[in-house]
Amino acid sequence: MPEQPNDKQPQGGALQTARQTYNAFDNFVAIREDDSTLVMAFKLLLRFIGIFVMILLSPFLIIGLFIAFAAVL
């Protein structure tokens, strides 16, 4: 029986990169005690835009996962 390639590494790397990117964004838009009102409003707006982008991308991710599982079966 031929040996299956180890596909866990690329997926793990992609997950790690996505996690690091999200954490960097979350740290950037975190409201700190010394932020002015204008900076707080800007960070809040950026957070809402980030949530909106994630909601917009979620159907594409679901469709991509569906296609990936269908290809495996």
pLDDT, tens digit, for every residue of 9-45? Answer: 556 777 888 899 999 999 999 999 999 999 999 999 9
Non-local (6+) Cβ contacts of 50 within 8 A are 25, 29
Half-sphere exposure of 45 (CA within 13 A, CB side): 6
User: In the predicted model, what is the mean pLDDT of residues 53-64?
Assistant: 87
Would you list the DSSP string of 40-54? HHHHHHHHHHHHHHH
Is there a domain that residue 69 lies in? Answer: yes
Is there a domain that residue 19 lies in? Answer: no
Is there a domain that residue 44 lies in? Answer: yes
Is there a domain that residue 46 lies in? Answer: yes
* Owning domain of residue 63: 31-73
Q: What is the DSSP letter of 4?
A: P
pLDDT reported for residue 33: 94
Is there a domain that residue 4 lies in? Answer: no
Is there a domain that residue 5 lies in? Answer: no
pTM: 0.64
Tell me how far apart the alpha carbons of residues 54 and 31 are, in angstroms, rounded to a whole number.
Answer: 20
Domain count, the chain: 1
Is there a domain that residue 1 lies in? Answer: no
